């Protein structure tokens, strides 16, 4: 049986190898361990193996886990679909949100962010798969949203996140990630100071790193297969 510690080690090796292949420094790619559906004990085990940043997708599950683990210096990233009525909990309990895809959600996060905390670190989720069922702002509307979010006082706009259509075709993975990368470069060219490209999951982290990922979000390859939705 694979333990979390050996799985984490293997993922770090994949990241280091992909960075080397891409001529990049491994330390320029942050590993976000996606712990959704897994227990607080699994997170504790990963922390003991040196992992401090965790991603969650379901608000109530995450808030419970964060409370259970309040004794550890963890960094929490919200990466799931975000509904208006959950923005307060997210603004109060997380350090980062990767899935901001409309102005209304951004406004609510900014007003609910407690003044005692640093600004919420935000990525805009962009839909490059063209699948209407998926979240994310369309590339066409991205710049307007970025302009809006940049002006909000309690949010700090850090970059872009995307979840491309799942495929084992590496060329297709690369093409979809490249589109996100070009949007990222385009915004920076217009004066946005973005430093975060949150792309790449268990199946496609090599392609994402080749296209410039600075955060990879890895669940299955660390914690195993998720067999329940929450």
Ligand X SMILES: *Cc1c(COP(=O)(O)O)cnc(C)c1O
In the block, tokens 């940043």 appear at 53
Question: 146 or 222: whose CB is closer to ligand X?
Answer: 222
Residue 228: closest CA among 88, 37, 30, 58: 37
- Position 173 contacts ligand X (CB under 6 A): no
- Binding letters toward ligand X, positions 51-70, x by CB under 6 A: ------x-------------
Determine which residue in the list 105, 163, 209, 213 makes contact with ligand X, applying CB under 6 A: 163
Q: Is 130 left (phi over 0), alpha (psi -120 to 50) or beta?
A: left
Q: How many residues bind ligand X (CB under 6 A)?
A: 14
Shortest distance in whole angstroms from residue 80 CB to ligand X? 6
Determine which residue in the list 68, 95, 147, 202 makes contact with ligand X, applying CB under 6 A: 202
Question: 149 or 163: whose CB is closer to ligand X?
Answer: 163
The Cα–Cα gap between 66 and 197 comes to: 25
DSSP per-residue string spanning 208-230 = HHHTT-SEEEESHHHH----S--
Shortest distance in whole angstroms from residue 57 CB to ligand X? 5
The Cα–Cα gap between 160 and 205 comes to: 16
Residue 34: closest CA among 13, 58, 50: 58
Shortest distance in whole angstroms from residue 221 CB to ligand X? 6
16 contacts 206 by C-beta, under 8 angstroms:
no
Hey, is 31 helix, strand or coil?
strand
Stretch 98-157 residues interacting with ligand X (CB under 6 A): none
Window of 3-11, 44-52, 104-112, 200-208 that interacts with ligand X by CB under 6 A:
200-208
The Cα–Cα gap between 195 and 200 comes to: 16
- Binding letters toward ligand X, positions 5-34, x by CB under 6 A: -----------------------------x
Hey, is 21 helix, strand or coil?
helix
- Binding letters toward ligand X, positions 206-225, x by CB under 6 A: -----------xxxxx----
* Contact positions vs ligand X (CB under 6 A): 34, 36, 57, 79-80, 163, 201-203, 217-221
């Amino acid at each position: 049986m694979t333990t979390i510690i050996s799985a984490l080690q293997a993922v770090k090796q994949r990241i280091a190898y992909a960075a080397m292949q891409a001529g990049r420094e491994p330390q320029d790619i942050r590993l976000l361990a996606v712990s959704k559906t897994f227990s607080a004990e699994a997170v504790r085990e990963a922390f003991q193996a040196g992992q401090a940043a965790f991603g969650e997708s379901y608000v109530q599950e995450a808030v419970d886990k964060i409370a259970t683990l309040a004794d550890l210096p963890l960094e929490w990233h919200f990466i799931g679909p975000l509904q208006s009525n959950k923005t307060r909990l997210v603004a109060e309990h997380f350090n980062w949100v990767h899935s901001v895809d409309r102005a209304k959600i951004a406004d609510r996060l900014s007003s609910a962010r407690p003044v005692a905390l640093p600004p919420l670190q935000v990525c805009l989720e962009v839909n490059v798969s063209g699948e209407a069922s998926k979240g994310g702002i369309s590339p066409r509307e991205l710049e307007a949203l970025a302009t809006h979010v940049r002006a909000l006082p309690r949010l700090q706009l850090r970059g872009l996140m995307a979840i491309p259509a799942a495929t084992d075709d590496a060329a297709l993975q690369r093409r979809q990630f490249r589109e996100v990368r070009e949007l990222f470069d385009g915004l920076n060219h217009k004066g946005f100071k973005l430093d975060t490209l949150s792309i790449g999951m268990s199946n496609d982290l090599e392609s994402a790193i080749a296209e410039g990922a600075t955060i990879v979000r890895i669940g299955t390859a660390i914690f195993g297969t998720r067999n329940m939705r929450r």
